[in-house]
Structures are given as structure tokens and as C-alpha cells.
């Protein structure tokens, strides 16, 4: 950008009709002080933009740079909390309670960071802020437009993130596909960002898809070329292109894409299918994409002082040891996951990841058998048939009536056959209901979420609980402390800690009126709210491994630091 324009942007007021450069710049922010990497997707959704972004960010983090990721989503929802998993995969919950896209889980796992609502935005959030400001007269009579006001708000959020995180590099993932009407303003904002921040402070990456029709027996690049052309039409010249494909992309295809997109061949990389997403950083490292990014962003001598080759080598070695645990396994087990959304694996992305982390640590290949509880409930199969070849079962979170009886039947089978059991959120509640029915003799025991008039409502929303932490009828969301009872399995699993912090996403609790009866019959509540009579971990100590938790431990599992409940679950499955 020329000096005159830069000077104008530095001094500009955010609310004026004297100039077209409406660019709210946070106090203390200097143009060019932060580097940005922007990842776009073309041809189709689901290419793995989040995995690429996290993998590249991981390589830069290993070099010693501080990274802050952000996902810009195109839908009008304020957050992801109301989305059906069939529509958008798993809802991931951050420590501050933000319900967001599953890619935020990928970022947290790869980068070993606890992110916040600053790392996620949607059209709903952007438009809400703009309309609220407009109603208060915040634009001083200007007609509020996509350009410059919506794009300005997007850039403002990115710069606020740069300030609050003090990151060297912001990794920006643009949700959706180039050509979608819902993300055009994001793409335009990125073009403006590069214009304002300066030529060497923004790196554009395009993911595209290489088709390989079985009838032809060769890879075809035309769809990828046309997708990238759509990006060029919107003023974005990619610096790097990653080509997704079933098999390694041939040199011939990479040459074609390079020539038609004006991207050097050395910056066109194959991102083909591999056995684990955690192998992607190695692919990018092998292609020297991390070095290309440093070159594109013109890291000068001062920037390079942050880079530490020795530390990078040590970090990459640790990552390699984790990968070795995945590839060079010594044992193999099958774990059953009983759920309603088993036809879409992304619905349980964090559970799959947590099992992979535990498996790597124990050098075990953890296979998953997806068990459709609807089929059990509708008598299309039996519990015994479905669970005959699994070493343990997980009953995951969920909502609503569908599949409940199928889940309870699976819990009963696990308890009666001493099969390792891990109940997550709804799975915790199902374990309470099953125990109350079949051990305590309360045949109609249920949750008021499903049966509002049941006499023995062992799971309920209680009036006194509605007042706690401002719950009302809303979700209990985000990080909360859990007090662990000494001498229990949970106490040993968590390294003899009396307090831990976990992430919650639920409305219903164990009804305190029934706790004495449940405990009298052998159920131990080994984790509870520090102040209130809210149960958060249960166990059956006479069994090999039977644990339920009201929280989602998978949200805190990391590749190099497996979550303790999952690690112990897999250990017991191996036995």
C-alpha cells in the first residue's frame, strides 16, 4: 500500500462519511504488525480446511511462533449450538461456553491451546453487532452496506484477536466454498485486509479438489482449476495451493494447476488421503510449505529471532513419537459407540480423536464399531449381537427421546457382563436410569426430558438448580470445576487430584432425592459440583471399568496428553 493511503488509515475515524476507507482499527494496533494466513476452499465443502490450517499452524508453532486461529462461518446462527449434527457435525464447546464449529476442536488439539469466543465468528454475530450499532446511531447517518461496513467489522475482529492474543500469525479459515453467496463478504474482507496490511503480511492458501473418476482411471484437474479461477475473479491471488485427492496428486496435475493459477510449482502441494489427520503436518513439512510461508510473509531478522531450530527439532521429534504410536501399534481392539448420528462420523469427531490419542500412548489400534441404537430399539437387531465383538462401549452425549431405550439396553449389557463402559453426558444419565430401574427396582425411572410425568424422575431440572450459575432453562455450558472424592477410581485416574476442570453441555441433572437410594445399592458419585449437590462423575467400583461423567472429557484430550478417563478406558479394554 502506498504511504499516503497507510497514513489515511492510521488517522481515520471509524464513523465518518468523508471517506470510503471505513476501517475500524483498534486502539494500539499498527498495520503490518501481525502476519495473516487465510485458507479458502474451492470445488466443494468438507475438504479439510481446518485440518490444513491446524497442521500448518502447528509447524509454525513448532518453529517458535505464537499462533492464533480463527474460523469465519457463513451461517446466520449466532453459534453452532442449535445445529443438528447431521447438518454440521459435532458441536464443540470452548471453556468460555461458546458452542462452535468442530474445526475449533481440531485447532485446540493440534496446537494444545484453549481457545475462546474470539477465535470463532459467524454471519449472525457480525450482522448482530452491526445492526445493534446502527440502531444506536453509531454510523452517523451513513447508509450501512456490505462494503465497507460488514467487511470493516470482519477486519476489526481479526485485529482485535491480533491484539488480545499477541500472536505473531493469525490463521484464518473461511468457512464454506468459494462461490457461496454466504461467504463473499468474508472473501472481500480478506482482499481488503491484504491491501491494508501490506503485500508481505498476508498469505493466501487455496484448497481445491482433484477428481479421480474410476471410469477414467486418471486424475482430472479441471474442477480444481475452475474453483481457483473463482477465487481469482474475486481479487484473491493464492500464494499456496493444496490439492485434496484420494491418492497422491501426480506431478502432471500439479503442473497444470500451477500454470493456470500463477502459483509456483514448489508451492502446489498434494494433500491426499492418509490414515490419520495427524500425518498431515509431516506431509506439509516434507513439501517445505512451512518454509515457503516464512518466505512469502517476509519474516525479517527481528522476526527470525523468535525462531528456534533446536526447539523445533525437539517438538517435531515428540510429534513423531505420537505418530509412531498410531502407526506401529502392538495390539488391536474394537470399541462400540452407541449413538443416533452414527451415519455421520463427524458427529463424534472429538470422541474419535480422544480414542486415537489414548491408543497412540498405549500403542494400540482402537477400531470403532458404530452401533445404531435405533435399530436395537426397533428390534431390528439385538444388544447381544451388536456387542458380541467389542472390548468396551461408549454411550455419547445427545438429546431427545429417539434411541433412549436402545442406549439403556446397551448400558445394562455392559453392567451385567462387566464390559468396560464410559458414559458421556447423556450416557451418564442413561447409566443412572438403567441402575435405578434394574438394580434399585424403580421400574419407571426416567428423565423428565423424555417422560415429563414419570413418578421416579431420577434425572430432572430442579428449581433450585435453575438458580445456580444463572442456568434458568438454558444449557450449562463451558468449563466448570469438579470436586473429586478421595479413594475413588476417579481420584486415582486423575492423579489423586481433588479438583479438576472439565467442559459441560447439558440441562438435566441427577435428582438429589434419589441419590441416597442409588448410593445404598452400590453406585458411587465420585465427582460433584464444589458447592452444590450436583453429581458429575459416577462409578460402579465392583466392576472392571464402569464410569459415567456429566461433562465431555473428549474436549480436553490432546495428541501428546490423552484425557485420563479415555486412557484408562482403553487400558481396561485392552485387558
Burial class, 495, CB count within 10 angstroms (exposed 0-12 / middle 13-18 / buried 19+)? exposed
d(CA 364, CA 330): 6
pTM value is 0.92
d(CA 413, CA 133): 56
pLDDT mean over 369-376: 88
Q: pLDDT tens, 44-99? A: 888 899 999 999 999 999 999 999 999 999 999 999 988 877 677 889 999 999 99
Q: pLDDT tens, 261-287? A: 999 999 999 999 999 999 999 999 999
The answer, yes or no, to whether residue 473 has pLDDT greater than 60, is: no
Strand partners, 269: 242
d(CA 110, CA 112): 6
d(CA 58, CA 511): 44
- Give residue 1's pLDDT band: very low, low, confident or very high (50, 70, 90): low
pLDDT mean over 542-559: 97
Q: pLDDT tens, 157-197? A: 999 999 999 999 999 999 999 999 999 999 999 999 999 99
pLDDT mean over 424-435: 96
Least Cα distance to 353 among 17, 144, 174, 107 occurs for 107
Q: pLDDT tens, 495-536? A: 999 999 999 998 899 999 999 999 999 999 999 999 999 999
The pLDDT of residue 466 is 61
From the list 88, 149, 446, 552, the catalytic residue is 552
What value does the mean pLDDT of the chain take? 91
| Structural domains in the chain plus CATH codes | 22-216+234-319 (3.40.50.300), 329-574 (3.40.50.880)
Residues whose CB falls within 8 Å of the CB of residue 65, separated by 6 or more in sequence, listed in order: 168, 169, 306, 307
Please tell me whether residue 506 adopts helix, strand or coil conformation.
strand
Residues whose CB falls within 8 Å of the CB of residue 296, separated by 6 or more in sequence, listed in order: 200, 203, 239, 240
The pLDDT of residue 15 is 46
From the list 73, 386, 539, 554, the catalytic residue is 554
113: Cα within 13 Å, side-chain hemisphere? 20
The answer, yes or no, to whether residue 218 has pLDDT greater than 80, is: yes
Phi/psi of residue 489, each to 5°? -60, -40
Q: pLDDT tens, 130-140? A: 999 999 988 88
d(CA 269, CA 240): 8
Determine whether 554 is an active site residue. yes
Determine whether 385 is an active site residue. no
Looking at the chain, the whole-number percentage of residues with pLDDT higher than 70 is 92
From the list 425, 440, 549, 573, the catalytic residue is 425
The pLDDT of residue 65 is 95
- Give residue 18's pLDDT band: very low, low, confident or very high (50, 70, 90): low
Grid coordinates representing 98 are 461458546
Distances (CA, A) of 102 to 79, 83, 350: 12, 12, 8
- Give residue 489's pLDDT band: very low, low, confident or very high (50, 70, 90): very high
The pLDDT of residue 9 is 58
Determine whether 446 is an active site residue. no
Amino acid at each position: 500500500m502506498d504511504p499516503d493511503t497507510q497514513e489515511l488509515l492510521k488517522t481515520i475515524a471509524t464513523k465518518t462519511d468523508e471517506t470510503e476507507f471505513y476501517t475500524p482499527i483498534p486502539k494500539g494496533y499498527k498495520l503490518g504488525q501481525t502476519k495473516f494466513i487465510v485458507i479458502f476452499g474451492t470445488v466443494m465443502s468438507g475438504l479439510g480446511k481446518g485440518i490444513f490450517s491446524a497442521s500448518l499452524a502447528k509447524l509454525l508453532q513448532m518453529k517458535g511462533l505464537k499462533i492464533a486461529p480463527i474460523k469465519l462461518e457463513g451461517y446466520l446462527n449466532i453459534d453452532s449450538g442449535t445445529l443438528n449434527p447431521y447438518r454440521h457435525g459435532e458441536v464443540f464447546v470452548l471453556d468460555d461456553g461458546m458452542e462452535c464449529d468442530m474445526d475449533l476442536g481440531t485447532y485446540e488439539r493440534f496446537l494444545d491451546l484453549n481457545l475462546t469466543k474470539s477465535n470463532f465468528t459467524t454471519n449472525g454475530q457480525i450482522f448482530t453487532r452491526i445492526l445493534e450499532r446502527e440502531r444506536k446511531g453509531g454510523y452517523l447517518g451513513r447508509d450501512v452496506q456490505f462494503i465497507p461496513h460488514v467487511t470493516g467489522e470482519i477486519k476489526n475482529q481479526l485485529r482485535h484477536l491480533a491484539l488480545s492474543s499477541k500472536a505473531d500469525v493469525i490463521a484464518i479459515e473461511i468457512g464454506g466454498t468459494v462461490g457461496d453467496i454466504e461467504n463473499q463478504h468474508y472473501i472481500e474482507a480478506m482482499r481488503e485486509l491484504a491491501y491494508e496490511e501490506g503485500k508481505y503480511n498476508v498469505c493466501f492458501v487455496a484448497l481445491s479438489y482433484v477428481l479421480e473418476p474410476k471410469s477414467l482411471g486418471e486424475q482430472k484437474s479441471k474442477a480444481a482449476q475452475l474453483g481457483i479461477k473463482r477465487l481469482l475473479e474475486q481479487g484473491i491471488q493464492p500464494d499456496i495451493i493444496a490439492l485434496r485427492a484420494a491418492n497422491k496428486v501426480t506431478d502432471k496435475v500439479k503442473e497444470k494447476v500451477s500454470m493456470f493459477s500463477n502459483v509456483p510449482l514448489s508451492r502446489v502441494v498434494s494433500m491426499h488421503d492418509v490414515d490419520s489427520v495427524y500425518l498431515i503436518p509431516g506431509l506439509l513439512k516434507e513439501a517445505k510449505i512451512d518454509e515457503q510461508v516464512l518466505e512469502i510473509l517476509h519474516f525479517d531478522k527481528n522476526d527470525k529471532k523468535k525462531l528456534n531450530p533446536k526447539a523445533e527439532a525437539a517438538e517435531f521429534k515428540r510429534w513423531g513419537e505420537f505418530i509412531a504410536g498410531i502407526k506401529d501399534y502392538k495390539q488391536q481392539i474394537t470399541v462400540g459407540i452407541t449413538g443416533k448420528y452414527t451415519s455421520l462420523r463427524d458427529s463424534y469427531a472429538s470422541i474419535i480423536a480422544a480414542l486415537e490419542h489414548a491408543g497412540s500412548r498405549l500403542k494400540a489400534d482402537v477400531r470403532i464399531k458404530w452401533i445404531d441404537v435405533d435399530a436395537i430399539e426397533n428390534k431390528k437387531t439385538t444388544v447381544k449381537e451388536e456387542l458380541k465383538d467389542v472390548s468396551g462401549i461408549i454411550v455419547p452425549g445427545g438429546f431427545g427421546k429417539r434411541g433412549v431405550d436402545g442406549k439403556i439396553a446397551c448400558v445394562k449389557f455392559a453392567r451385567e457382563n462387566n464390559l468396560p463402559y464410559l458414559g458421556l453426558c447423556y450416557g451418564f444419565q442413561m447409566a443412572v436410569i438403567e441402575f435405578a430401574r434394574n438394580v434399585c427396582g424403580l421400574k419407571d425411572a426416567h428423565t423428565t426430558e423424555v417422560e415429563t410425568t414419570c413418578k421416579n424422575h431420577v434425572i430432572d431440572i430442579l428449581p433450585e438448580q435453575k438458580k445456580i450459575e444463572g442456568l434458568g432453562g438454558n444449557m450449562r455450558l463451558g468449563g466448570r470445576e469438579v470436586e473429586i472424592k478421595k479413594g475413588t477410581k476417579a481420584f486415582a485416574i486423575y492423579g489423586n487430584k481433588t479438583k479438576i476442570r472439565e467442559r459441560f453441555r447439558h440441562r438435566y441433572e441427577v435428582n438429589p432425592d434419589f441419590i441416597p437410594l442409588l448410593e445404598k445399592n452400590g453406585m458411587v458419585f465420585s465427582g460433584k459440583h464444589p458447592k452444590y449437590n450436583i453429581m458429575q462423575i459416577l462409578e460402579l467400583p465392583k466392576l472392571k471399568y464402569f464410569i459415567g461423567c456429566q461433562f465431555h472429557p473428549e474436549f480436553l484430550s490432546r495428541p501428546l496428553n490423552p484425557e485420563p478417563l479415555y486412557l484408562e478406558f482403553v487400558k481396561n479394554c485392552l485387558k
